[in-house]
Amino acid sequence: MLGILTSAGKWKKPAVISLIILIFALASFLRIDFLVSVHHEVSHDTVHYDIMVRQLLEKGVYAYKSTEPNAQVTPGYPLFMAAIYKLADYQHNDPFPYIRGVQVAISLITLWMIYVIARKLGGQPAGLIAAFAGAIYPPFVWSNAAVLTETLATLFLVIYIYVQWIAFERKTWSFAMLSGAVLGLVVLIRPEFLVIVFALHAFYFFWKNEKLEAFRKLAFALIGMAIVLSPWVIRNAVTLHEVVVASTQVNPFLAGTYPDKNYEDGLVDNRGKTQMEIAKERLKVGFTEHTWTFTKWYTIGKMKSTYSRMYFGSGHKPLYPVIPVLPWNLFHRALVGFGLIALVAVLRKWRQPATLLAVIIIVMSLVRLAFVPEYRYNYTVMPLIVILDSVVGMAMLRWIYVRLRGQSSLTKARGQEG
């Protein structure tokens, strides 16, 4: 059995196609059955997205939690919602079921990209294992009912990874610019991903040791990103009279300054201050007068809060057990736990394409430390962890198989000599 798993040459095309069909049939069934068999709850953010989109369609005002124009949230997901609202005739029909249906299709495309990237990195077996893991990972099922950014952002993130990989492989400006454009779409949905364009090109700089080529690729990527982001930046300059590349929302940053989410700690006087002023004062007082508490919170505390449990979506009743035979949260913890091993394994020999995924996981985990930790924030990097787990896991199986086969051959040879 181990030989079949680890020998790429034994994989025949009909068998592969059959397995892919079975995996995607299972993934489709779980997602659709989940949508139609439980009652879906609506989150606080979704309520305000709904108000925002209706206001945009009916009054032409783009504003989040306000009737005056603002840039509190980037326009990627609200515009996605607005398009479906129009198609669904939202004034006469509930648009949420339509959004959820489209998100199932998005989830399946994302699953295909997980398979393609894992196959490219680790061969056919790794691709199939990653696809199967992605098909049954509960948050990838539950998230389809949440009218939130996660599902759409993850699709464009995995597409970006694939395009960026091609851009690194080829010395052409077109893919470099395309990679920036796709990342621009990611930023319009989840603005915190803006930093990875610099992180990945820094990785390429040291990986290939081609300074001029690295800067050239970065320049074209930034041009592509600028083209995609320019309408949003121009809108903000014209309407708000300020340069806003991403968003102006400060609350997640402020909320992150409360250790263990104790929002009543009374560390500073909040009266008459902006959210940013409060956040800065809290950080100053916290790290000078409560150094250990804040240091622990901004490292181990937030990391544990982000990754210890899986994202539940917006909530639903009754609980839909995607993997009923396993204890709650076990699969998630196994993926994250082995993900740490996979990261170490990849970084030990970092001059390889798989390090691209490791860089994104590490950089985004560090970025998350600046904000309030939520389980939903681990969602977008979980496809990358699934891929790395599958690739490194298959590499370990191949290593074990080669050693066992070699030992068996040696024992057999000694027996014949005797």
Would you give the distance in Å from CA 100 to the centre of its chain?
18
Contact between residue 390 and residue 126 where contact means Cβ atoms under 8 Å apart? yes
Cα(49)–Cα(314) distance, rounded to whole angstroms?
14
The Cα-based distances of 418 to 23, 298, 405, 408, 414 in angstroms read 49, 64, 20, 15, 6
Helix segments in 44-172, DSSP class H:
44-59, 76-87, 96-122, 124-136, 138-142, 150-169
Cα(319)–Cα(315) distance, rounded to whole angstroms?
9
The per-residue b/e assignment along 325-361, b for 16 or more CB within 10 angstroms, e otherwise, is eeeeeebbeebbebbeebbebbeeeeeeebbbbbbbb
Question: Taking Cα atoms as reference points, which of 194, 174, 192 lies closest to residue 184?
Answer: 194
Which residues 6+ apart lie within 8 Å of 391 measured at CB? 118, 121, 122, 126, 130, 342, 354
φ/ψ region of 318 (left if φ > 0, alpha if ψ in -120 to 50, else beta) reads beta
Q: What dihedral angle (degrees, nearest 10) is formed by the CA atoms of 290, 259, 365, 394? A: 110
Residue 42 has φ and ψ, to the nearest 5°, of -120, 130
67, two tokens: 């009737």
Q: What is the pTM of this model?
A: 0.93
- pLDDT score for 210: 84
- pLDDT score for 14: 87
- pLDDT score for 403: 82
Helices (H) and strands (E) in the chain, counts: 18, 2
Query: CB burial class (10 A; 0-12, 13-18, 19+) of residue 23?
Result: buried
Question: Taking Cα atoms as reference points, which of 344, 361, 386 lies closest to residue 128?
Answer: 386
Q: What dihedral angle (degrees, nearest 10) is formed by the CA atoms of 185, 191, 192, 197? A: 40
Q: Could you list the pLDDT tens digit for every one of the 418 residues in the chain? A: 334 444 444 667 888 999 999 999 999 999 999 999 999 999 999 999 999 999 999 999 999 999 999 999 999 999 999 999 999 999 999 999 999 999 999 999 999 999 999 999 999 999 999 999 999 999 999 999 999 999 999 999 999 999 999 999 998 899 999 999 999 999 999 999 999 999 999 999 999 988 899 999 999 999 999 999 999 999 999 999 999 999 999 999 999 999 999 999 989 999 999 999 999 999 999 999 999 999 999 999 999 999 999 999 999 999 999 999 988 899 999 999 999 999 999 999 999 999 999 999 999 999 999 999 999 999 999 999 999 999 999 999 988 888 887 666 656 655 565 5
Helix segments in 308-354, DSSP class H:
330-348
Contact between residue 53 and residue 85 where contact means Cβ atoms under 8 Å apart? yes
